[in-house]
Chain A
Amino acid sequence: MGLLRSYIVKTTQLLWEFIKQFKWRYIIGMIVLLITSFISSMIPKITGYVTDSINDRMPASVTNKYLLMLVAATVAVFVLRFTWRYFLVGSNRYLECYLREKLFAHMQTLPASFYDNNKTGDLIAYAINDIQAIRRVFGFGFTSILDGVVVNTISIMIMVRTISPMLTLMALAPAPIIVLVIYFLRKKIRERFGMVQKAFAEMSGKVQESISGIRVIKAFAQEEEEVEDFLKYNQVRVDTQMSLTRVSAVLGPVTQLTFGISTVLFIIYGGGLVAKGVISLGDYVAFSSYIMVIMGPIVSIGRIIDVWQRGIASIQRLDRIFCQSSEKDAENALATVSLFGLNRQVEDSQPVEKLRGHIVIRDLTFAYPGTDKIVLHDINLEIKEGETLGILGRTGSGKTTLVNLLLRLYEVEDGHIFIGGRDINHIPLKVLRENIGYVPQDNFLFSTTIKDNIQFFKPIYSDSQIEDAAKMAGIYDEIISFPEGFNTVVGERGVTLSGGQKQRISIARAIIKDPSILILDDSLSAVDTKTEQRILENLKNVLKGRTGIVISHRVSVVRYCDHIIFLDEGRIIERGTHEELMRLRGAYYNLYTSQIEQAEDNLLLQARG
């Protein structure tokens, strides 16, 4: 247990905090639960009194008195049970939402590498299934234990004291065996249930991929093959379920059998006791009810253990996420989030500190976490405030990686990257990222309106600001030509737009932030030259007074940059202005000439023709 606890420290801590916050609900709930259990364990005894009073031909008033007691007890149990369920079970619904929000908030602080290594589907499962499993521990698990222990203790006491110890012993005889049998069954069931879930998750993953990749599947006419592959997953789903059922279907009959055996012993032995006058007929009737009452919790012991173990497994899984360290100094999400709202209302009105766009990179070497391939070697670089850096380089040479590091998507050690004179690791993430406008290489749009995609879920911009940003990005005319204009809802990831349209909306999204550093990662690859030119013209204005980083494969895009670097296999092999690089007659020069050669050819051709 000690070992266990060390694994689940973070989640338990969260749970404790929650329980402390809700302690009165829990305390009241538990007290009421105890009272309820006490009363409900008296009910069979009252039924016994009723039977006796009738069998012994007592006056009607006596019978009626017992009957009234019976009704009163039932009503009391009803009211009390509602009360404790409201307090205890209700709190657990709070707990579920509380954990889910904490989890989401925490996920928002996790580094990019976390998302490289975890499947979206699995992460969703944590937030829904695992958290529900934990809720069940607190709901069903705890209350059943409390209820069961109290009811059984009292019932057994009554049975032993007022009815017959021997009979009680006989009735309870099958219990230990049954607990054991059910425990082992449950264990098997859990294993097999795990397989069912895995099969289901894998099938979902399969379907998910074949829908996301449907364009590829169709383009290569792979539908039939996909179906065939899917059927394998489909079959596994069936097989795992059947193997689960083979075991789990035993559970019901085993329970029936338990009750059955107790009843049989009771008929044989108890019948004798009544006939010989050792116990009354009322006791006999009461006893048969007690068997039911007692066996209930005993049969559910297996289930409780199961819920517990699943809960613990879920807590451990969640803990793996909660223990993932957040990006350095990302706002401590676990502290700021309270149920259904943020604890500290961070004042929006207060503008974020402006960062000066002076970037220095010193001896930077980098490999992605979990790999040993060095992607960036010994990068040394300085971009003065207001200057623009152009980056060229082969596919896979590390351009995007360099930018990722400036955004602190991946961690670097102290002393390598400085922005505005400060080590990047000491700039609050919020300040850093609010000050950088980034146009990623692949354009992810959310399936919402174009407007919302540009302002990106923060409705602080006026319509004219949004329109201006769209104009700067050269997409305005097209947007207003859509029937719904800025309110056009785009498809998933933006599928209903053309490549260039998506790209330009991403540009607008970055520009509207009015950042001190603007980064464009191959962001004009999908637009035609005319549009490219127009955007570059606009960007010149936008970049005035800002620091810019422009990545491209086209010399035409970077040639006017104040500095250009040429990356190859993660090293800067050339650097300088366009003119300097041309004079160098190296990689840049070759690239330039190859891109321009044909153009010049044609100029000549054209001049002649």
Chain B
Amino acid sequence: MEYRMDNEYVLRRPKKALFIRLLGYFKPYLPLLALNILFAFLINGAALIKPYIIKHVIDNYLALKIYAPDVFMRMGLLYLAVVLAGCALTYSQTYILTYIGQKIMYDMRKQLFTHIQNMSMKFFDRNSSGRILTRVTNDVEALNEIFSGVLVNSVKDIIMILGIIATMFALDASLALISMGSIPLIVLVTFIYRKAARKNFLRMKMLIGRINGFLAENISGMKLVRIFHREKEKLQEFQKLDKEYFDTSLREVILNSLGRPIIEVINTLIIAVMIWYASGRITGGHLEIGVLYAFITYIRQFFAPINEIAEFYTSIQSALISAERIFDVLDTRELSEDMKTGKHVERIRGEIEFKNVWFAYDDENWVLKDVSFKIEPGETVAFVGATGSGKSTIISLMARFYDIQKGKILIDGVDIREYNLKDLRRQIAVVMQDVFLFSGDIKSNIRLRNSSITDEDIMRAAKLVCADRFIESLPNKYDEEVKERGCTFSAGQRQLISFARAVAFDPAVFVLDEATANIDTETEMAIQQAMANISGGRTTIIIAHRLSTIRNADKIIVIDKGRIKEIGTHDELIKKGGLYRQLYEKQLVYQCIA
């Protein structure tokens, strides 16, 4: 098994650029963001006032043993008011932040999904579906933290830290200095620990991704693994992966159990030192004990924002990795298709011409070599050739799934690249060799999302391809559920449904790539008959290995290893005595005589 994901966990782009680009998504929400930062100030203020109130009570009353119930009551109520204000502010802040985060994720997903939908086939050949899926789902989700928490909260934390420092100095400069002495230590330890934790965290994320991918492929292919009795091998592969995950996971436990607690130890040490130092001054009457109390509280409060900032750093790091992966997709513009511009056409006539076309899926491995032919409107043309000779490839090019490297493809005399892609593909319906059914029902599989196709159209199409017979026998007829990839239908039935889909779209050009390969001869002939009736005036392109199915074509094009060998009608080609005749005779002899 090959996973190309590992190196995706190391950033390639400069962090700053990534970060700034991410910030760009905030633009529509700047006013809300500003409001939130204001809230952050207020919330911090509330947090800082609280210990101060208690200090006030201790120093002015308790240490002096003054009994003043009304003051206690007033102070208590003041405290309560501060708490309440803090609560209200925190609630609003959380809500607004979530809102911003969700809105931005919505925007990003929309942008990303639209972009992916408009990617060319090459992109999908190169990237596994699991990978693409992760971009839209989990990677965007990973950004949420940045958008909804990190930014505002880190501002809040910095304000908090500054606020605590200021308050400390206002209370007592020398104690404040001692506390400050501890800051570098705390910061250092926090960051060392966080760095280790971060590395581990990212590794864990990668491993979960791999487990996910492994399961996705192996659950889809489970039936095959079972039939070939390879459970043990697959299980071992899985266990290896799981063990790797476990090691990382255990390391996480160890890191977590060390990191935070050690800060607590440091905290206590500092507090001890401070008390030790302060006790002398208190006994000497130079310091009030309430101040010491406030300091202890502040030192404890101090750690939380530092730790949070360090944690944010991990979130940011992890988010940047996701961001990079998302931007990588968004930035592959050379593979994206432009569905908007281009020449609009209502209906094409169906003249297709290839002029010296060269094509390779990658680099220079030419699959099509100098291919030229012309199909007149309304003609029925068949492509014949050995398997792997490039027939399906030619068809992909007609629908412009790939762009060619050399030569020209003309439709109605106009370069295929000049057409609006959407119009073009609406006109050319391809029944692909590999059938795909969506989960849903039969109707939705034939109609897709084209609401202009009525239920009657669907039934007519199904009838035409002789799918009505089996559909009518289903308990729910056209509303019968289609499970994942149509797994509860026979291969031929799936093919019929996908055929009906093309018919229902009523295209100007029909392209049938082995559209009846898994279908019995009787049905196949009935379909041919029906197709002949409706195809009047329509260009029809057929690929089939059974020469009997293509004999009546107006034109037969013979391909061999990516080159056109012969073009002509059946009779012409037979007379010519070339490759086609050889093929044909062989097949005849093989079918009839022997």
Contact = CB atoms under 8 A, between A and B. Distances in A.
A120 B484 contact: yes
B346 to A, nearest CB: 14
Contacts of A101: 235, 238-239, 242
Given A63-B276, A341-B239, A529-B583, A272 B58 contact: no
B411 to A, nearest CB: 15
Nearest to A492: B128
B132 interface: yes
Interface size class of chain A, counting residues whose CB lies under 8 Å from the partner chain: 35 or more
Nearest to B273: A67
A271 B521 contact: no
The SS class assigned to the A binding surface is helix
A200 interface: yes
Interface stretch (B63-71, B164-172, B307-315): B63-71
Interface in B101-144: 102-103, 105-106, 109-110, 113-114, 116-118, 121, 124-125, 128-129, 132-133, 136-137, 141
Contact of B450 (A212, A225, A594): A225
Contacts of B102: 237-238, 241-242
B433 A526 contact: yes
A89 B257 contact: yes
Interface stretch (A149-157, A262-270, A303-311, A413-421): A262-270
A603 B588 contact: yes
B534 interface: no
B272 interface: yes
A274 B62 contact: yes
Given A395-B492, A495-B125, A527-B387, A458 B233 contact: yes
Interface string A21-37: 00000000000000000
Given A217-B448, A340-B246, 9 more contacts: A90-B250, A107-B222, A109-B231, A207-B133, A212-B436, A218-B399, A268-B72, A395-B490, A444-B221
B546 A117 contact: no
B67 A595 contact: no
A434 interface: yes
A64 B275 CA distance: 9
B349 interface: no
B232 interface: yes
Contacts of A583: none
Given A124-B212, A595-B548, A599-B588, A219 B65 contact: no
A409 interface: yes
Contacts of B293: 51, 285
B212 to A, nearest CB: 6
A93 interface: yes
B397 interface: no
B80 A208 contact: no
Interface string B232-271: 1111111100110110011011101110011011001101
B361 interface: yes
Contacts of B547: 529
Contact of A64 (B141, B276, B387): B276
Contacts of B514: 499, 525-526
Contact of B551 (A245, A342, A399, A602): A602
B264 to A, nearest CB: 7
Contacts of B83: 256-257, 259-261, 263-264
Interface string A495-507: 1101111001000
B124 A214 contact: yes
B429 A245 contact: no
B249 to A, nearest CB: 4
A446 B110 CA distance: 31
B543 to A, nearest CB: 10
Contact of B65 (A127, A207, A212, A275): A275
19 contacts: A54-B278, A108-B231, A115-B219, A116-B487, A204-B133, A216-B448, A216-B501, A220-B450, A220-B501, A221-B425, A228-B449, A264-B76, A267-B75, A275-B61, A499-B514, A522-B491, A525-B518, A553-B518, A605-B574
Interface residues of B, number: 185
B318 to A, nearest CB: 18
A105 B239 CA distance: 10
A249 B94 contact: yes
Contacts of B392: 498-499
Contacts of A209: 438-439
B436 A213 contact: yes
B279 A595 contact: no
A60 B280 contact: yes
A162 interface: no
Given A67-B272, A396-B492, A609-B574, A252 B236 contact: no
Contact of A395 (B109, B232, B365, B520): B520
B73 interface: yes
A223 B339 contact: yes
Interface in B147-201: none
Contact of A499 (B109, B208, B434): B434
Interface stretch (A11-19, A73-81, A294-302, A379-387): A73-81
B289 interface: yes
A590 B235 CA distance: 49
A216 B436 contact: yes
A533 interface: yes
Given A230-B113, A276-B67, A501-B387, A96 B125 contact: no
A50 interface: yes
A368 B490 CA distance: 12
B224 interface: yes
Contact of B432 (A108, A216, A602): A216
Contact of B57 (A127, A267, A531): A267
Contact of A260 (B80, B129, B221, B239): B80
A398 to B, nearest CB: 8
A231 interface: yes
Interface in A211-255: 211-231, 234-235, 237-238, 241-242, 245-246, 249-250, 252-254
A124 B215 contact: yes
Contacts of A38: none
Contacts of B283: 54, 57, 60
B546 A529 contact: yes
Interface stretch (A181-189, A312-320, A359-367, A435-443): A435-443
Interface stretch (B15-23, B85-93, B320-328): B85-93
Nearest to B215: A124
B235 A104 contact: yes
Contact of B137 (A200, A210, A227, A605): A200
B549 to A, nearest CB: 9
Contacts of A112: 223, 226
B434 A340 contact: no
B12 interface: no
A82 B264 CA distance: 13
Given A67-B272, A457-B234, A227 B425 contact: no
A245 B95 contact: yes
A498 B388 contact: yes
Which interface residue of B75, B221, B401, B521 has the most chain A CB atoms within 10 A?
A: B521
B54 interface: yes
Which interface residue of B118, B432, B436 has the most chain A CB atoms within 10 A?
A: B436
Given A596-B592, A602-B551, A211 B124 contact: yes
Nearest to A271: B72
A101 B449 CA distance: 41
